[in-house]
Amino acid sequence: MVEFLIVLCVIFPVLAGAVAFFDKSNSLKRQLIIVTGGVLTFAALALALRGAGSVAFGSSLAQALGAPIQILDLALLCFIAYIGWRRDHRLILALAAVQLIGLLVLDVYLHPSVDAATPAFTVDSLAITLVLVVSIIGSLIAYYALGYMKEHEEHLHLTKTKQPRFFAIILVFLGAMNGLALADDLSWVYFFWEVTTLCSFLLIAHDDTDEANRNAERALWMNMAGGVAFVFALLWFQGVQGTLSLTALQEIARSGAKEAVFLLPVVALCLAGFTKSAQVPFQSWLCGAMVAPTPVSALLHSSTMVKAGVYLVLRLAPLSFGTTVSTMIAVCGGFTFLITAALAAGQGNGKKILAYSTISNLGLIIACAGINTPAAIAAGLLLLVFHAVSKGLLFLCMGAIEQKIGSRNIEDMRGLFQIMPKTALVTTFGIVTMMLPPFGMLLAKWMALESSVEASAMPVLVIMLALGSGLTVLFWGRWAGILIGSANPKLEVAQEAQEATMATAMRALAIGAAVLSFFAPLLYLWLVEPVVRTMFATALPYEAWYGGVGNKYGIFAVYPLYLIIAFGFWYAWNETKKYAGGKSEQPYMSGIQATKDGKVGFIGPMKGFVEVKSGNYYLESFFGESRLTNPANYAALALFGLLLGGILQ
């Protein structure tokens, strides 16, 4: 049964992608996306309900996949090298060549062989968590793309659709992510890892503009640099430890073997995870990915590629437990959390705010993995889930808004309720779920901050997480205020009508964010506690009951908070209805206000008319990209040096 479900999660979307690619008439697109999404959702939920298990290398599935994965891995690197040669990008070519040589050394000289009883795939709560995120949220994003890409291509005035290729890559992407989550052998993890790298390059370059190609190349070489670190770890583990099995390596770590010779490849794998999750100084590839169509941004930033990086670091946490390396991983993650929160606070571009806030939250998850206590790992897992849902929702809302108003600037979204009331409401709700109670993101951040305080050896980390959290409230609160707190006379024509697939996906994610937060205590018991029990032979960090989650320090009372919010919403709604149809007044400006050509203003110097304009301060002199990016990159490189130095401690 486990083998069949793994086939549905990994192989089925790849086959569906092949059908989509060769469907040049584009007639099967909708059916393929719906069926594949249904199959992935069923398989992911079935795995979750079935519980932990594994598929050994002696199984028919593993034997059938072994040789093809080995061959396809080499072919994949050859294709990436060809991309580098064709685009005259020597760095991509060199990085692909280094990995190709490393794999040949691994396959030919080190001859990795595994016992038939060694797991090829491992199904545990950590893997199930990522599979659920990828399969359900990824499928909704693909469904959203059905309507979005139609309007996107109309906007670009394409004479020939590129949707068969686009949806084929999306489906292969989802299958590769599930394979990465479930694989136990690091060489198989690496194969799926590089498939996601190639798919992201193709998706970012989809529109084939100069800007898209430039940013796609940057994403490719940065992730290939992480691939080099990954290959180094494969060679080291196979040559020194004699195994590439994550299960076996965790057993070695539990035996106390955490000397430098063991920690060096662990650090290399963490650096690979940093590149994939766009941690500083690798953040530029993810920000550049914003040029891609919105469904691509949503996939890369919420449920798939970037989650692969933090998933790997979480998976490796037991290998560095109790070491200086673990401490430095936490500091690196905390630094990214703070700096990218500051960069988000200095942005007016909605997509860039979403990009930097994504990197920031990924940094927080990595900080949790580095803190490496039961409470921190629990917080990291909850962050992974709740962030995927809420951020996926916000990216889809951003795409819908941009298509209607033709702008990504949040200042241009003033008065959005006038023309897109439903979309504005869903967007505001998505923002609220990122920062306010009773929603799961705040619960997870509370747990993360508390775990950092408990790790008293890292006071600097506490400061970084506290400041980063404050900046998070700043940029989310500002955006929500723009959406609900002002009118925009430039927005006059109602533009709410949307493709059914887009509206359905957004509403489903909004409902999902509310429902998951409501059942956060059960989610903790079902998915998080089993991971913590597996990693740590200690008392569980929190108790969960039907009303909330808590420990000796405090309680996050989920259901009472929901009741308070429900009552507040009901009261505000009834009070607002009292003023429906009321006369609006212009702002008072000390008796000198005036109106000219429909514009509101006042009589200024020389009796001239001055239009009143409102806007936010973005503090670019403090938080602007030109101010922070280079110093942050240098500081991150210095922290990487300390991370490497931690191997010798």
pLDDT, tens digit (0-9, with 9 covering 90-100), for 523-552: 998 889 988 888 887 777 888 877 888 887
- Residue 603 corresponds to which tokens in the numbers above? 């009589």
In angstroms, the first-to-last Cα distance of the chain is: 46
Rounded to 10 deg, the angle between the 500-518 and 421-435 helix axes is 30
The pLDDT value recorded for residue 119 is 87
CA-to-CA separations, 626 to 437, 441, 616, in angstroms, rounded? 34, 30, 19
The predicted model gives 635-647 an average pLDDT of 89
Q: What is the pLDDT of residues 50-90, one digit of tens each?
A: 887 888 888 888 888 988 999 999 999 999 999 999 999 99
For the sheet with 548-550, list strands across it. Answer: 543-545, 548-550, 555-556
| Whether residue 381 has pLDDT greater than 90 | yes
- Residue 255 corresponds to which tokens in the numbers above? 């035996």
The pLDDT value recorded for residue 448 is 92
Task: Please say whether the beta carbons of 334 and 371 come within 8 A.
Answer: no
What is the distance between the alpha carbons of residues 635 and 352, in angstroms, rounded to a whole number?
22
Q: What is the pLDDT of residues 501-513, one digit of tens each?
A: 998 999 999 999 9
Of the candidate ranges 163-177, 294-308, 441-455, the one whose mean pLDDT is the lowest: 294-308
Long-range contacts of range 24-33, CB-CB < 8 Å, 24 or more positions apart? Answer: 24/164, 26/161, 26/163, 26/164, 29/146, 29/163, 29/164, 29/167, 30/146, 32/167, 32/171, 33/139, 33/142, 33/143, 33/145, 33/146, 33/167, 33/171
The pLDDT value recorded for residue 498 is 76
| Whether residue 206 has pLDDT greater than 80 | yes
Percent of the chain whose predicted confidence (pLDDT) is above 90: 51
| Whether residue 328 has pLDDT greater than 90 | yes
The pLDDT value recorded for residue 590 is 65
More confident residue, 622 or 325: 325
Task: Please say whether the beta carbons of 362 and 282 come within 8 A.
Answer: no
Percent of the chain whose predicted confidence (pLDDT) is above 70: 95
Q: Where are the domains of the chain?
A: 1-315, 321-578+629-649
